Amino acid sequence: MHKVLIIVGDATETVDTLYPYYRLIEAGFEPVVAGPEKRRYQMVLHEIRPGWTITREWEGYTIDADIAFADIRPEDYLGIFFSGGRAPEYIRYDEDLVRVTRHFFAANKPVACVCHGVEIPAYAGCVRGRRMATVAKCRFDLEVCGGTFVNEACVIDGNLVSGRTYHDHGHFIGPWIRQLETARDTHRHPDA
């Protein structure tokens, strides 16, 4: 079974994380949850409620990280998913996460990103010249690092597939899974 990383930290968005987690299993991949440490993380629910102009947050489920960033050998993984929530704002400075992130972009492996997840590849210097969707409030993070904001449910730029929020999962997760399937099949059949 081919392994795919899901990047999390405390305050990772619940739906952002669990939808791709279960879709990976459904497609025959092994999702590997990675965090700053190998421990349990508290996820959150994010929503803008009627009458509010900013995101409101509630506690969601918890999730166990299978591996710490420092222990990741990125060459062992087929792809990576950067989940949203507030976690990326804090974990993006982790040197091992930066190392891992750069590997997937340099190796042209399938990368998916949603919502605040953009803050990780942006900080790692991987978005320059790339078109991406993200939540509107992270547009600055993308653009200041040289990327182009696209306000669409699914943006595909080579190996990079992105969406704005979990409301877009039904649009961009499928294309990312298809990229992973192509990568898996190519890996399985080097002459293909």
The residues annotated with a catalytic role in the active site are 116
Secondary structure of the chain in the HEC alphabet? CCEEEEECCCCEEHHHHHHHHHHHHHCCCEEEEEECCCCEEEEEEEECCCCCCCCEEEEEEEEECCEEHHHCCHHHCCEEEECCECHHHHHCCCHHHHHHHHHHHHCCCCEEEEHHHHHHHHHCCCCCCCEECCCHHHHHHHHHCCCEECCCCCEEECCEEEECCHHHHHHHHHHHHHHHHHHHHHHHCCCC
Other C-beta atoms lying within 10 Å of the C-beta of residue 165:
22
162: β partners: 113, 155
